[in-house]
Amino acid sequence: MQLTQRAKQVDRRPMNGWEKSYLPAILKGMGITISHFFKKKATIQYPEQKRTFSKVFRGVQILNRDEEGRERCTACGLCAVACPAEAITMEAAERQPGEEHLYREEKYAAKYEINMLRCIFCGYCEEACPKDAIYLSQTFAQANYDRKGFIYKKEDLLIPNPKEDPEAYRRAVGERPVK
C-alpha cells in the first residue's frame, strides 16, 4: 500500500567496490548541496519585511469596544470557563449611574487579566463570548523583562477608543471584519 507518491524504494543490493569508497555518494551529496547554493532564498528580512497572516490568525487577545467606544465585556465568565489553559481571571462590578458611556451592559469587568505565559492561543474565549467582547488579534511574539509583565491587565488588552483615537483603533482591528 502506498500512502504518498514520494515513497522511495531503498536499494539494498550489496555495494560494489567503487561504491564502497563512498566517493560517488559524497559527490552526489555535494551536488545536491551546491544546487541549493543557487536556489531562491527563503529568508524574509523580518523587521522590514513581514509575512502576511491569514485572516484567521490567532494572536494576542484584545477586548473590544462598540462603535460608541463602550466596553462590550459584561464579565459573564464564559471565556474563563472555556479557557483550557485557565489563563483568564476576572472580577465583575455593577455599572453606576453616569457610567453608561463607558460600559455597554449593566455589569462590567472591573478586573480582567490574561496570563500570556499560560495562554495557548486556541481562540476558545473568542468563540465562547456571547457579547463579541474578546478577539484574537494579529499581534504576536510579546516580550517582557519579567514574568509579572506577562499577566496582561485590562488596560493592556483593551482596544483603543474608536472615538478618541480612530487611527489606532483601525490599526488594532486590522483586516478582520468587526461585527
Binding footprint of other proteins on the chain (CB under 8 A):
26, 29-30, 32-34, 36-37, 39-43
Closer residue to other proteins, CB minimum distance, 26 or 168? 26
For the CB of residue 9, give the shortest distance to other proteins in the complex, in Å.
23
Min CB(150)–other proteins separation in Å = 29
By beta-carbon proximity to other proteins, the closer residue of 19 and 106 is 19
Nearest Cα to Cα of residue 175 among 9, 54, 8? 54
Min. distance of Cβ 50 from other proteins in angstroms?
16
Smallest distance, Å, CB 36 to other proteins?
A: 5
Q: Which residues contact 164 (CB under 8 A, 6 or more apart)?
A: 69
Closest CB to other proteins among 45 and 52? 45
Q: Which is nearer to other proteins, 5 or 43 (CB)?
A: 43
Q: Three-state SS across the chain?
A: CCCCCCCCCCCCCCCCHHHHCCHHHHHHHHHHHHHHHCCCCCCCCCCCCCCCCCCCCCCCEEECECCCCCECCCCCCHHHHHCCCCCEEEEEEECCCCCCCCECCCEEEEEEEEECCCCCCCCHHHHHCCCCCEEECCCCCCCCCCHHHHEECHHHHECCCCCCCHHHHHHHHCCCCCC
Q: State which residue, 43 or 52, has the beta carbon closest to other proteins.
A: 43
**From the CB of 15, what's the least distance to other proteins, in Å?**
14
